[in-house]
Structure 1
Amino acid sequence: VGRDPQQLDSHGVARAAIESTAENFCDGVVAPVFFYVLFGAPGLFIYKAVNTMDSMIGHRTPKYRAFGMTAARLDDVLNLIPARLSGLFICLGAPFAPGGQPWQAIKVMLRDAGKHRSLNAGWPEGAMAGALGLALAGPRRYAQDVARDPWIGHGTAKATAGDIGRALYLYAVACLINAGWVAALAVVRFSLPAAG
């Protein structure tokens, strides 16, 4: 998460957990599968190497700016499609989550994704915020600075442990949707006659 936990109340901890769940759905589930389906094991390996470099050194601090910026920008490029797919899968899973609001998920994702400081994280986070009726992101304190980011979503910022449970449920449903499209691609791919 990267936030200063000493500065978080229980709502801030819940929001951070939900934001991490949404973003990690892209980084840890959809994108690796996407690159594996397209390019096999080398695609998966390259994606995870770039994503890990971004996590470790892709910070805006003077210490990491020169080399870390390259990792961060490359990660942005690689996640352009997977981030949007992640948001879509969360929207598709919203009707099956407790209290899920699919139309709000779509609306908030499309309206607020561009408000996020990350080029890609706003897509799954916006979908999650809308689906659960929450406001995510917003002003928050990190170890080095304070982020005065806008809120994503127009629901309550007072997320609870129950909202974490709903987010995890939605995450699981979205993972099943992700698996479904991969299975459909495999059926199509292996049912086509071989060329030659």
Structure 2
Amino acid sequence: MNILPFLARNVAITCIAAACDAIAGYPQWLVRRIGHPVMWTGRLTDALDRRMNRDMDCDRSRFRNGFFAISIIATVPCGSVILLQAAASRRLPPPLMLLAGGIGASALSAQRSLWEHVRAVSIAARDGLPQARAAVSHIVGRDPTQLDEAGVMRAAIETLAENFSDGVVAPLLWMVIGGPAGAAFYKSVNTADSMIGHRTPRHDRFGYAAARLDDLVNLPASRLSALWIILAAMTMPGMDARGAWRIVRRDARRHRSPNAGWPEAAMAGALGVRLSGPRSYHGVVSHEPWVGDGSARVTPRDLERALALYRRACVVQGVVLITLALMTRRAWRKGRKPVMRG
């Protein structure tokens, strides 16, 4: 079976999706009218959590039901996209199918949304610490009232780095692999993990399957995101690409997450700061190891530098996608040429 047509189509859709997301993002008026794919998956996850994770259930039942739940959560969005594509392909010519697929799939990437939310922290910091705390509370789970200015800036940079992997690189990578359905599969797993993949009395057993599957599907993207950050740092004055590579090799695996440590270590090394470290969740202090060699006194200026590095890393990824699109299209067209026999 020749997979080149499938791969070429997926890469073209991914390029369109990435461009649409960077230019326009997901419009707020559309959120108000129909919601967002993450919201739809969230409702499904919440419904299954209420029905399949009851207080009366034993740990064994919760563990088993968690596998059933993540199977449904991952299958329903993916299958819905496949059915939608099949229906659209009977009505639209191939060029319009690519365009429609890319525009629709752009909702599964968070490139512009991530920029806007982290940029809001940088802007709020100009008005004082209370405003910065309020802005960062929208993007982190830790207690913002316990954060000084450096803590707020570290939290924002860590969120930027981690979500560059989870919200930008990973969905686009899975889009290349499986088209919009592949991205829908990834996004559903990632959403489920954010809701039930926690080590709490309620979700420790029920959310185990979701958390482990999320670790698995994020593994390649986390490594790629670190690479994009390092390559971006190589093109920017004042960034330490060698330091980023060194910190990734030394600290990425020390992070509490098997994946988040990679982009965070690359970001810390490139900026010359320390990230992660102890933090408070609902009054409970979590003693996480530090990532990086620089100062932990991170400033608003460092957050601005991180945002610039993030933008450049997105450009690096875009260049890679365009190059891959040209290569796959050329290989596909070359394979379609008739072989002349003597």
- Per the normalisation by structure 2, the TM-score is 0.56
**Corresponding pairs, count:** 196
Measured in 2, the distance between the counterparts of 1:146 and 1:69 equals: 23
Deviation larger for 109-118 or 66-75:
66-75
Residue 171 of structure 1: aligned partner: 310
Q: How does 1:1-196 map to 2 (within 5 A)?
A: 1-97=140-236, 99-143=238-282, 145-192=284-331, 193-194=334-335
Deviation at 1:157, TM superposition (A): 0.4
The one-letter code of the counterpart of 1:154 is D
Measured in 2, the distance between the counterparts of 1:53 and 1:194 equals: 41
- Per the normalisation by structure 1, the TM-score is 0.96
Deviations for 1:20-50, whole angstroms, at most 9, x for unmatched residues?
Answer: 0000100111101100011101100000000
Q: What is the DSSP-based 3-state SS (H/G/I as helix, E as strand, rest coil) of the residue aligned with 1:141?
A: strand
Measured in 1, the distance between the counterparts of 2:273 and 2:279 equals: 16
Which runs of structure 1 show a deviation greater than 3 angstroms over 4 or more consecutive aligned residues?
none
Measured in 2, the distance between the counterparts of 1:172 and 1:65 equals: 36
The one-letter code of the counterpart of 1:39 is G
The one-letter code of the counterpart of 1:94 is A
Measured in 2, the distance between the counterparts of 1:63 and 1:106 equals: 39
What is the Cα-based RMSD across aligned positions, in Å?
A: 1.3
Deviation larger for 141-150 or 22-31:
141-150
Which is greater in Rg?
Answer: 2
Deviation larger for 9-18 or 51-60:
51-60
Residue ranges of structure 1 left out of the alignment (5+ in a row): none
Residue ranges of structure 2 left out of the alignment (5+ in a row): 1-139
Identity over aligned pairs, percent: 53
Q: Determine if contact 1:97/1:166 at 8 Å carries over to the other structure.
A: no
The one-letter code of the counterpart of 1:127 is A
Measured in 2, the distance between the counterparts of 1:115 and 1:62 equals: 25
The one-letter code of the counterpart of 1:171 is Y
Deviation larger for 18-27 or 139-148:
139-148
Measured in 1, the distance between the counterparts of 2:325 and 2:141 equals: 38
The one-letter code of the counterpart of 1:22 is A
